[in-house]
Amino acid sequence: MALARIARSNLRRSGVSVGSNVHEKNMFNERTYTTKGSLPSHVDGPFSYISRNKEQNNMNFSKRGITGTAFHQLPNTQRVVEESESEFEDDPTRYAGLEATKPGEKPRVVVLGTGWAACRFLKGLDTRIYDVVCISPRNHMVFTPLLASTCVGTLEFRSVAEPVGRIQDALAKEPNSYFFLASCTGVDTNKHEVYCEAVTNGGLSKEPYQFKVAYDKLVIAAGAEPLTFGIKGVKEHAFFLREVYHAQEIRKRLLLNLMLSENPGISEEEKKRLLHCVVIGGGPTGVEFSGELSDFITRDVRERYTHVKDYIHVTLIEANEILSSFDVGLRQYATKHLTKSGVCLMRGVVKEVHPQKIVLSDGTEVPYGLLVWSTGVGPSEFVKTLNLPSSPGGRIGVDGWMRVPSVEDVFALGDCAGFLEQTGRPVLPALAQVAERQGKFLVELFNKIGKQNGGKALSADGITLGEQFVYKHMGSMASVGAYKALVDLRQSKDAKGLSLAGFVSWLIWRSAYLTRVLSWRNRFYVAVNWGTTFVFGRDNSRIG
């Protein structure tokens, strides 16, 4: 063991490039590779992959950013090496990774996430100044305002997913810019490094596959997680609606229940349970999903599932009032319209969730076949583990320039960030327009800093940052189904402004979101899907 420790100490101290031809019988080594995708057997770039093997090696490390050392194994030390293998597995020096940038190279910006804030930042970043690395467990941005429409077949899933490589093409084309399909597990602000775990789903022989990335500037835009309030059974039995795969699972369960309910021998009570769709949460997402579902039932289910058309119904449960941030008149309109469309509105608080029923705080039991949970979002487990200042509500605390105080070169934005209490600013709501506006502000700030040679780590001191971020609310919109929608153009809940409801609002809603879809490709998809659904109805194929 002592000999193995000496070997590792020697390895840590070594920071120079070396060349060697070493055979299996007399060496214990760490090899370094470069890759942008799969891991080849040669080196060409700054990405280093470190592994142990016992095969014959020919190594020639001459490219920038590649460090390694050949350690010659003494006789009879193989057993010592094998005994220390488990200890070596936990050694942080064995992480593969992108090393720190060198003088003369472009500064590296690492972005965690592919949500609204991250993608707006990526889209505007000047890649003539910066190299960019994006790390996220998904390789696309989700256009969340239209996600509910995919659950019932109004839109196809690819219509609301924008590949991150199309948003910032440097991730696919520039030699020193990368997208890594991974989850960030930790941040070392002193070393300017992030530690990640690849999302492999069994695709690699080594699980988990971990690596590190050094940064000059770090932008944390990791989003948030659905709030469950610690209620028993929610995570196990409810569906959320924040990702494309969530919508896919909801669609499969909905169609499965429709088809199962037509099988012979199913009791009346079981049919009612299978075809009872319960939505928890009366915010915009819950209301829009309820409206889409009621529209699907009215136009498609009653025509194509005539044997069970009278059993399917929707219940929306909210603790207070639906659409609480909207104008009072719009809330009343939404309540009347949803009720008229067949949606049962209940006021209550969920106590616990079981596989086939939920229990409310007053003891009421509500059986269900499909349960969709939409009660807002809160800090993710990753954000909670970071040793960074916190804002009220547990988000990462930032100042007026979206910087994280007390650490250098770290910024946060979107649903995972909130203004620190000492700034005197309120924590902004977790809305797409807030995140997008913050991304636009920060990328302009980064481009300004980069042009003044402040992009490198610890080099932005003395640069004037300019005006702080100011958010102005542009209004809210929500669809309630049957070609009806709400448009609230007030800048705040208590302010006065224009409020519309009805068919005209629905046209405004569709037009606004169609123009906000990021690419012309997806705008075309959305427009074609809407037209196809209007003429032929929704597709009810259950795939998968």
255/388 same-domain check? no
Judge if the upstream peptide bond of residue 208 is cis by omega within 30 degrees of 0: yes
* Helix (H) or strand (E) run with residue 188 in it: strand 178-188
Tally of domains in the chain = 2
Q: Is residue 339 assigned to a domain?
A: yes
101 and 204 part of one domain: yes
My answer on whether 356 and 432 are in the same domain is no
482-535 tens-digit pLDDT: 999 999 998 877 778 889 999 999 999 999 999 999 899 999 999 999 999 999
- Identify the pLDDT of residue 462: 84
Q: Range with the lowest mean pLDDT among 75-79, 379-383, 408-412, 440-444?
A: 75-79
Q: Are residues 349 and 429 in the same domain?
A: no
| Domain shared by 393 and 523, yes or no | no
Q: How far is CA 368 from CA 236, 240, 289, 290, 320, in A?
A: 14, 15, 16, 15, 21
- Based on the fold, state whether residues 527 and 443 are members of the same structural domain: no
Q: Do 246 and 356 share a domain, yes or no?
A: yes
Contact at 8 Å (CB) between 70 and 20? Answer: yes
The arrangement of strands across the sheet holding 476-481 comes to 476-481, 484-488, 499-502
Q: Is there a domain that residue 231 lies in?
A: no
Say whether both 257 and 370 belong to one domain: yes
Residue 32 lies in a domain: no
∠ Cα 469 471 475 (to 5°):
160
Q: Is residue 84 part of a domain?
A: no
pLDDT at residue 91, as a whole number: 52
Is the pLDDT at 41 greater than 80? The verdict is no
First to last CA, the chain: 52
* Domain contains 281: yes
Gap between the Cα atoms of 282 and 322, Å rounded:
4
pLDDT by residue (tens digit) across 111-132?
A: 999 999 999 999 999 999 999 9
Residue 342 reports pLDDT greater than 70: yes
Averaged confidence pLDDT in the chain: 84
| Residue 280: both structure tokens together | 């928890």
pLDDT band at 96 (very low <50, low <70, confident <90, very high): confident
Q: What angle do CA 246, 250, 251 make, to 5 degrees?
A: 115
- Tell me which residue of 422, 418, 431 sits closest to 392, measured CA to CA: 418
Residues 361 and 488 reside in one and the same domain: yes
Q: Is the pLDDT of residue 279 over 70?
A: yes
| Reported confidence tier of residue 28, pLDDT bands at 50, 70, 90 | very low
Domain-terminating residue out of 451, 486, 501? 451
Number of neighbouring beta carbons within 10 Å of residue 211? 20
pLDDT, position 446? 97
With both helix axes pointing from N to C terminus, report the angle between 503-516 and 520-536 in degrees, rounded to the nearest 10: 150
Pick the more confident residue, 60 or 239.
239
Are the C-beta atoms of residues 30 and 91 closer than 8 Å to each other? Answer: no
Kindly report the CATH number assigned to the domain that includes residue 289.
3.50.50.100
Q: What b/e sequence results for 269-306 when a residue is b if at least 16 CB atoms lie within 10 Å of its CB, and e otherwise?
A: ebbbbbbbbbbbbbbbbbbbbbbbbbbbbebbbeeebe
Residue 89 has pLDDT above 60, yes or no: no
Question: Cα(506)–Cα(336) distance, rounded to whole angstroms?
Answer: 16
Q: Note whether 494 and 433 are same-domain residues.
A: no
Whole-prediction pTM value? Answer: 0.81
3-state SS assignment for residue 73 = coil
In a domain, 20, yes or no: no
Within a domain: residue 480? yes
Residue recorded with tokens 């049919």: 271
CB 322 within 8 A of CB 469: no
* In a shared domain, residues 361 and 405: no
Q: What is the pLDDT confidence band of residue 206, given thresholds at 50, 70 and 90?
A: confident
Q: Cβ–Cβ contacts within 10 Å for residue 115, how many?
A: 25
Q: Is residue 301 part of a domain?
A: yes
In which domain, by residue range, is 406 found? Answer: 97-226+379-451
**219 and 124, same domain (yes or no):** yes
Nearest to 519 by CA among 132, 161, 76, 16: 161
What distances in angstroms separate CA 401 from CA 86, 118, 330, 406, 438, one per listed residue?
A: 44, 16, 35, 14, 9
SS3 content of the chain, % helix, strand, coil (to 5): 35, 25, 40
Q: 3-state class of 85 per DSSP?
A: helix
Average pLDDT over residues 168-188: 95
Give the dihedral sign, CA 339/292/254/248: negative
Q: What are phi and psi of 96, to 5 degrees?
A: -70, 165
